[in-house]
Amino acid sequence: MNNKDLAKKLKQCQTGQPAAQWVARNREILLSQVRAQQGSRLDLFSKDGASFTWEAAKMFFPGKIVYRVSAVLALIFVLILGSSVTTAWADRSLPGDILYSVKITTEKVQISLTPDKEAKTKLKVEFAGKRIQEAKQISQKNDQSVEQKAANIKNSLENYKGSIKEVDSDLSDMAQQKDDPKKTVEVASMVTNQVDGFSQTLKDSQEDLKSVVGQQDVFKEAVDVSDQVADKAVNIIVEKHQSGEVVLPTPEIQNIVNQKIDSVKDNVNSINQKIGEMSVPEKSDVKAGDTKAVTDNNNLNQVETKTAEVQKGLAEAEKLLQQGDPIASLEKVQEVKQINKEVEAVVDGAATKTGDAAAQNTATGASAQQPVINTNTNTNQNSVNINTNSAVINVNQSK
Amino acid sequence: MSKLSQKLLLLKLKTKDPEAYGHFYDLYVTKIYRFIFFKVSSHEEAEDLTAETFLKIWEYLFENKKVDNLNAFTYQVARNIVIDFYRKKAQQQLIKDPEEVLEKIVDPTPPIDKRLELTADWEEMESCLRQLKDEYREVIILKYIDQLSISEIAKVLNKSNGNVRVLAHRALNTLRELANKKEIKQDE
């Protein structure tokens, strides 16, 4: 054994542990002595209290006075007013406002001072929701330039992603612990409900926010990370149920998984809607010499195949759920989601190129090229062909 | 625990909040117990001295005395309590040098609920740790098991950072030799 291995082993030390009973009993004894001796709590507005808060500020911010003042304010808000009350003015501030740093500091202090892990996670979810509301509010502000708004929205969404990733990490820790599975399931339920809501809000607000920020990546990432965390929460609930750690009624489990299946169906419908919103003329020809069009046509064929896979996968997921295998059903839903993302990427690409082409044509004075969907009827095939170059979409429907 | 969390907890403790104290207890009880356990000869003694440590820390905070680093302070209090314990014992039993007693630790049996959990591997590691001299054992526990920083350990042991680094290196080498010897003996 070398020193490195030995150091690693020592880090996982299992020896010298106290008896659990003694730990609990001793805790009660100590806390009763502490409470008896406690007397009155420190009055933060007394002389002692003032010097305490200043010392506290120095502990965290040995630098400039302005930061010390904001830290003192944040600490006073949390320590005196408690976690459920923050001043209205700090709470209403948005990125770019002077008091925004007080708001964020207050939130971080609240989380750090919350001893209970589950309560910490709930706070993180609550604060993540605030970041999305901030992004929406910024998009509606009239007193900032477009560049400022874009930077502030991006800031909010990056902070949102950070908060949600922390929730993800908390969920992973909770899933591994066996102490209190009921509490874990409670928290996971809260997370999946709230974060699904955030994801939906982001999707609903995407157009407004896009018009300011002008790029989709930051939204897609925020939506993706939300979906990931909501899915993880659902997996935890179902696994805890399947392992017998927590007993949930079968209809409740089915309902949870069905919600996931329905959200994929909603996504499929919105993709179909995007396709449908593009205008629908007659069939256009893809000429063999036109390599771009041929490539695009191949992409379109892939989309057609994948769309069929998605539909098939959803049907399988529903069947597995009916057969009493929610875990396999969820796995199928994950697979299908991934395929659906690929379809969405191609459709979004077509919509973007159409927009770019229209903008270019407008700039050069040429007439705008409408995205085209050609509908053919034949007896054998269902196909969706999307020409991403000229945004020509050929839909062949079987009869 | 991150430095920020430590500072925030210390701040909360200074407001004499029993809940914060409970949280502090939950975070440190196992570490302090283990730290003391390797210095005394029984689990009962370790329990008593651990309880005394936490009470002393509360009294110190209650009297608004200054604490800079919660980690280092906690271990310092525990260490001083063990030294006081042996001084009193020495006075009672007329042992000349109480520090000598620290070198002669009898292997205590673990509590029944922990006995079955310990693998043979860890029983050997515990036995090797007890064969180390106290100074080496302290630094191994603080640095490699409880993951304190060099500067924190220096505060606890009242040494310079450089001394602590050298001590840690020597302690680990010695422990490694003991562990390897045990492995060789078992293979024979």
Q: How confident is the model at residue A375 (pLDDT cuts 50, 70, 90)?
A: very low
Q: Does residue A359 surpass a pLDDT of 90?
A: no
Q: What is the pLDDT of residue B107?
A: 43
**pLDDT single digits (tens) A83-119:** 444 455 567 778 877 667 767 877 877 787 777 888 8
Give the pLDDT score at B123. 75
What's the pLDDT score for residue A396?
45
pLDDT value of residue B93? 62
**Residue with the two structure tokens 């062909």:** A385
Structure tokens at B51: 């309880």
State the DSSP string of B52-85.
HHHHHHHHHHHTT---S-HHHHHHHHHHHHHHHH
Predicted local confidence at residue A213, as pLDDT: 66
Cα–Cα distances in angstroms (integers) from residue B44 to residues A13, A18, B108, in the given order:
21, 10, 10
Q: What are phi and psi of A386, to 5 degrees?
A: -120, 120
The candidate with the shortest Cα–Cα distance to A330, out of A312, A342, A316, is A316
d(C-alpha A322, C-alpha A313), whole Å: 14
Those of residues 52-71 in B touching chain A at CB distance below 8 A are 54-55, 58, 62, 64
Residue B28, pLDDT > 90, answer yes
B1 touching A (Cβ < 8 Å): no
B143 versus A151: the higher-pLDDT residue is: B143
CB pairs under 8 A between A and B: 132
The pLDDT value given to residue A45: 46
Q: Please give the pLDDT value at position A377.
A: 41
B119 vs A: CB within 8 A:
yes
Tens of pLDDT along A190-225?
898 888 888 888 877 777 777 766 656 777 888 889
Cβ of A15 and B11 within 8 Å?
no
Give me the amino acid identity at A399. Answer: K
- What mean pLDDT do residues B44-65 have? 88
- Regarding pTM above 0.90, the answer is no
The length of chain B is: 188
Number of residues written out for chain A: 399
By the CB < 8 Å criterion, does A179 face chain B? no
Separation of alpha carbons A149 and A74, rounded Å = 26
B94 touches chain A (CB under 8 A): no
Q: Which residues pair with A385 in a beta bridge?
A: A394
Please tell me if residue B23 touches chain A, with a CB cutoff of 8 Å: yes
A387: helix, strand or coil = strand
Q: In the β-sheet with A392-398, what is the strand arrangement from edge to edge?
A: A372-378, A392-398, A383-387
Is A321 within 8 Å of A258 (Cβ atoms)? yes
Question: CB contact, 8 Å: B15 with chain A?
Answer: yes
DSSP letters for A190-248: HHHHHHHHHHHHHHHHHHHHHHHH--SHHHHHHHHHHHHHHHHHHHHHHHHHHTTSS--
What does the longest C-alpha to C-alpha distance in chain A come to?
Answer: 90
Q: What number of other Cβ atoms are within 10 A of residue A30's Cβ?
A: 20
Beta-carbon separation of B50 and A16 below 8 A: no
Nearest CA in chain A to B177: A1
Instruction: Return the exposure string of A142-163: e unless at least 16 CB atoms fall within 10 Å of the residue's CB, then b.
Output: eebeeeebbbbbbbbbebbbeb
Task: Determine the pLDDT at residue A362.
Answer: 46
Residue in A359, A356, A354 with CA at minimum distance from that of residue A387? A354
